[in-house]
Amino acid sequence: MVPATKITRANQSVGSQLIRRAEEIRLAVNAGIDPTRRGPLGQFTTPPQVAGFMSSIFTCAYKHVRLLDPGAGTGALTSAFVAGQISRKKRPRTIMVTAYEVDAHMATGLMDTLQACEKACTEIGVSFAYDLRKTDYIRDRADRNKALWSIDSDQYDAVIMNPPYHKINSGSLERKLLRDMGIEVSNLYAAFMLLAARQLVHGGEFVSITPRSFCNGPYFRRFRREFFELIAVDRIHVYESRSETFRADDVLQENIIIHGTRDCLHESEVTISKTVAGGGFEERAVCFDQIVRQDDPEQVIHVIADDRGDVVSERMLALRGTLDELGFTASTGRVVDFRAREHLREEASDDTVPLIFPAHMKEGRVVWPNGQTRKPNAIVANSFTDDLLVDSGFYVLIKRFSAKEERRRIVAALYDPRAISTCRVGFDNKTNYIHTSGNGLPKDEAVGLTIYLNSSLVDEYFRLFSGHTQVNAADLKRLPYPTRKQLLTLARNCKSLSDQQLVDQAVDSLI
């Protein structure tokens, strides 16, 4: 009789061969991708190290496993899953794969990979079957869902996916089909995640790699709610460097891998790991409550991947104020330049008022006019633009998009009406502004708020829940804030609105 360790080693070698073969196929198919289809279909395939890691985080020891891989590309994830399963000591008796791929070029590679999976399984006595569906996953789901009286037999024990990332246009057929299935999402990847999560059996496992953008923001609020109702997430992995995951493809998305189980209770602790720049690996256990606060109606996901994240989260939660309690609110600037083009002027004249762009924000203050920007400095005040303007006063402006070279993602500046003589002013919609029911703030509170928002603490906290450079008004509304008294202390004690050291010292001494 062959000893068990030998069998496992032999299985591992069959697994490794399978991975090598799948990688050859992936690289060959990648080389022939039609560049015009790559973006629209989100054709960025998963490299073997990432796929291997994803397959390794499945926890169940399956006897019979039905796997779903929607948007399977050349099958990088399916092959990693199969290799992982057959290399285990307790390997499954049967593996059945359903893989969707809409693109014919990708599907040829997928067929080759599935055949390689079949060969590997046969070699070591695991029964393997596959169903390659060369069709659109969303349309197929919609068709199968049409027959409301029939039971959906398309169910799975495991899902693995790196779905396409692409905006779903509001008037598109996809949007309509998804709406008919009760799904309101603005990106394909979120639609794939929800549809696949619904197809899991009770206790089924879910593993995905996607952009981090679903973790926060109003566009994904409904998605987060439904997803967390279906899937109890118990593991999160992030990459410290934006370009680490899909280095060869120049993808500059921040990616997140999650593992969870269908219909289970949320674990009290979640494992969070990260690949640090250069390839190192760190792992820790974090209370689920710290990741998704129980009292948070937005269900925002905070990825606290290291000790520093812990400290930042604790310190921020020590702040007791909210924007609401302060009587302030955050909105996006109302002037959309291309819609108001005919009313914009390069320079001010008798019939204009200042128009403030991010280019006017310098070292914590709004400096207007700016002779160096190609942006218009002024907007005509007339009946068309009246609704776009606000009365002059103290406001805190926050850039909606930070430039790559900017150290911080949250960049705030004080709009001081004493420095700019005008009755009305327009804020461009690439800025957010904090106001009191549409009017300015009391001066010292505005100064304190600018200092607070420019602190490293706020910036680090923001990065815990946001994987992108965009700052939404909703993100600003949900930050913890100092109390009014603390804002006044900041305004009194800190002599700069943007000197990082002074600002950080002042904010640190509050907590």
Ligand X SMILES: C[S@@+](CC[C@H](N)C(=O)[O-])C[C@H]1O[C@@H](n2cnc3c(N)ncnc32)[C@H](O)[C@@H]1O
Binding footprint of ligand X on the chain (CB under 6 A): 41-46, 71-73, 76-77, 100-103, 106, 136-138, 162-164
Judged by beta carbon, residue 61 or residue 173, the one nearer ligand X is: 173
- Minimum CB separation of residue 76 from ligand X in Å reads 4
- Select the residue whose beta carbon is closest to ligand X and give its number: 73
Strands (E), 165-230: 200-211
SS3 180: helix
Judged by beta carbon, residue 76 or residue 381, the one nearer ligand X is: 76
55's CB contacts (< 8 A; 6+ apart) are 77, 80, 81, 83, 84, 85, 160, 207
- Minimum CB separation of residue 101 from ligand X in Å reads 5
- Minimum CB separation of residue 218 from ligand X in Å reads 25
Residue for token pair 């909703």: 474
Return the structure tokens found at 21: 């073969």
Judged by beta carbon, residue 54 or residue 353, the one nearer ligand X is: 54
Question: Among positive and negative, which fits the CA dihedral 127, 133, 137, 139?
Answer: negative
How far apart are alpha carbons 344 and 155 in whole angstroms? 57
Residue for token pair 């674990």: 267
- Minimum CB separation of residue 70 from ligand X in Å reads 6
Judged by beta carbon, residue 45 or residue 377, the one nearer ligand X is: 45
Judged by beta carbon, residue 101 or residue 475, the one nearer ligand X is: 101
- Minimum CB separation of residue 509 from ligand X in Å reads 47
Mark residue 186 as left, alpha or beta (left: phi above 0; alpha: psi -120 to 50; beta: remaining): alpha
Judged by beta carbon, residue 116 or residue 414, the one nearer ligand X is: 116
Number of helices followed by number of strands (H, E) in the chain: 17, 20
Cis peptide preceding 163, ω within 30 of 0:
no
CB 332 within 8 Å of CB 403: no
How far apart are alpha carbons 148 and 258 in whole angstroms? 31
Judged by beta carbon, residue 44 or residue 427, the one nearer ligand X is: 44
| Count of other CB atoms within 10 angstroms of residue 8 | 16
- Minimum CB separation of residue 61 from ligand X in Å reads 24
- Minimum CB separation of residue 169 from ligand X in Å reads 14
Judged by beta carbon, residue 198 or residue 484, the one nearer ligand X is: 198
CB 402 within 8 Å of CB 411: yes
- Minimum CB separation of residue 201 from ligand X in Å reads 22
How far apart are alpha carbons 300 and 396 in whole angstroms? 24
